[in-house]
Amino acid sequence: MEPYSMGYRDLLVPFSRALRVKGGQSHGAGNVRMSRVNQRLGRWGKSSELDELAALNLLLLLINSRTWVHRRVDALRLDLEGSTRRFVSVDITMPEAYKIEAASENRIVVPLGMMRKGAIQRLDAKQDSKGLAVLGRRQNSTLALNMLRTAVKSLPRKESASADDEIRVLENIVETEPSDAHAAHAAYTAWKYEALDTKNFSERDIRRLIIVDALARRLVRHYIFLVEIDSNFVGTRTTLKYSLDQDMPEIDTRERETQIRFNYKLPDFGFAESQHMELEVPSGLCIESFSFMAFDTKMVLQQEKSIDLPAASRVAHAVLNPKRSDYDGEVWAYTVPSREGIYRFAKWAAIITASLVVATVAARCFDKQLLRPEAIIPSPAASIILIAPALLLSWMSRKPEHTLVTRLLAPLRRIVLSCAGILVTMAVLAAVPVAPVVWNIAWSLVYLATAWMAIYSIKIFRGYRKRSGDTITVNKTEGGSE
């Protein structure tokens, strides 16, 4: 358990005491343990004590998540068809003391981390191949709001503090849209300095405020992903899985066109005791280098795992053991085209096309020495040359594909298209009788296009040879890497 999470351990005692006496009668210590309290979500609003206890349990589950979430595997797969899908596997042992009973009979609510706000596409949650119920927005927002209110409840207030302003600010944190996240967080910051009596804060209050700040920073753009599982799994190790469609990872456009560096963020990196991150790119691409990093709330690098992969690796995997639950994780990966497929084809196409054009220069300059007297130009055999452009164009994709594939293969496709255009022009000149002026101008354009294609090809293929081990500039603390 982290030192700052101890700031809420003392809340267990007053809440338990509040539930010991009901209707003037004592029910004994055994009936007030949180594991035996009927905290059903369907009864919220009828008992504020149950609301607060369920919210407190959720708070303690989140800040102590690394004690019951043993491992999480987060896999990001970029499909060839164009979709980006996230697959998550969470290995947990739900603690008896912190369980939150759901509205459904014999079911409990389990948080599986943070998920970005917005529309979710093709969400699929399972346990042992059986579907899991996911809490709806209303229940999710209610529980998250009660959790925030419980977290700030005991903090000292100024006399001028308004309860209505507090509820409004916290509701805005939970329910705001991503586009208004900055304004919602700014309003929370303003309320914090106007309403809280920080001059009279104890060390415990400071630790609590750190937790509240971390929750507000995340909940303003994310929500807590909550599912229901059978209560029989309390105290039993089990694995929960879910998957959903994701937006394309953020691409660093400053990199050269022969490789792409993109990053993927994990706002709840510290949720599990062991965090695994896996990346798989579509066929035709490969991962050149892969870095998995953890940053604190000030964006200072605290942990890092970097690997250089062998050629033609489409899958990368790294593991970090989070030191704090409030760390944010980031993945930075360099991807390049695979050395097989269109890469090799474009390389040979450029060499053969350039060699053919150079051969035509020799044929035009030394036609009497190289050509027989009966040679006819235009030649009816020119149609044979058109086979080459047809073969080249057959490598151009006609199916939907991932944005990453489109961007990385674009230079190679330009080379292939240039070769096809040059060969088509040569075939036309060999097959169609044109005036001498047109003949000379057309061949001059062919030579210029070939020169551009050759220079561009050399630049591109030299770029592919360079390793992507550029220095990743981050603010790093001593001993931060792992």
Closest to 356 measured CA to CA, from 426, 445, 410, 417: 426
Q: Omega before 378 cis (within 30°)?
A: yes
Do 304 and 291 contact (CB within 8 A), yes or no? yes
Look at the block and give the residue holding tokens 């329910």: 175
Residue 247 burial by CB count (10 A; 0-12/13-18/19+): exposed, middle or buried?
Answer: exposed
Residue 69 burial by CB count (10 A; 0-12/13-18/19+): exposed, middle or buried?
Answer: buried
Closest to 315 measured CA to CA, from 11, 76, 54: 76
C-alpha 101/C-alpha 425 separation (Å) is: 74
Report DSSP letters for 229-257, one per residue. EEGGGTTSEEEEEEEEEEPPPEEETTS-T
CA angle 178, 185, 210 (to 5 degrees): 125
Look at the block and give the residue holding tokens 């001593």: 478
Walk along the chain (482 residues) and give the pLDDT tens digit of each residue: 444 444 444 444 333 333 333 333 333 333 333 333 334 444 444 445 556 778 889 999 998 899 999 999 999 998 877 788 999 999 999 998 888 888 778 889 999 999 998 888 889 999 988 889 998 888 889 999 999 998 898 899 988 888 889 999 999 999 999 889 999 999 999 999 999 988 889 999 898 898 899 899 999 999 999 999 998 999 999 999 999 998 877 776 555 666 788 888 888 898 999 999 999 988 888 888 899 999 887 888 889 998 878 777 889 999 999 988 888 899 988 888 888 778 888 898 899 889 988 888 776 666 555 555 655 555 555 555 556 666 666 655 556 777 788 888 888 888 988 888 888 888 777 777 778 888 889 889 999 999 999 999 998 888 776 544 444 444 444 334 44
- The pLDDT value given to residue 481: 44
C-alpha 210/C-alpha 181 separation (Å) is: 19
- The pLDDT value given to residue 378: 58
Cβ-based neighbour number of residue 252 at 10 Å: 12
Q: pTM score, two decimals?
A: 0.75
C-alpha 240/C-alpha 258 separation (Å) is: 39
- Could you tell me the strand order of the sheet in which 130-131 lies? 130-131, 124-127, 237-246, 84-93, 69-78, 274-280, 315-320
260-266/84-93 β-pairing: unpaired
Which DSSP state fits 284?
T
**Rg of the chain on CA atoms, in Å:** 32
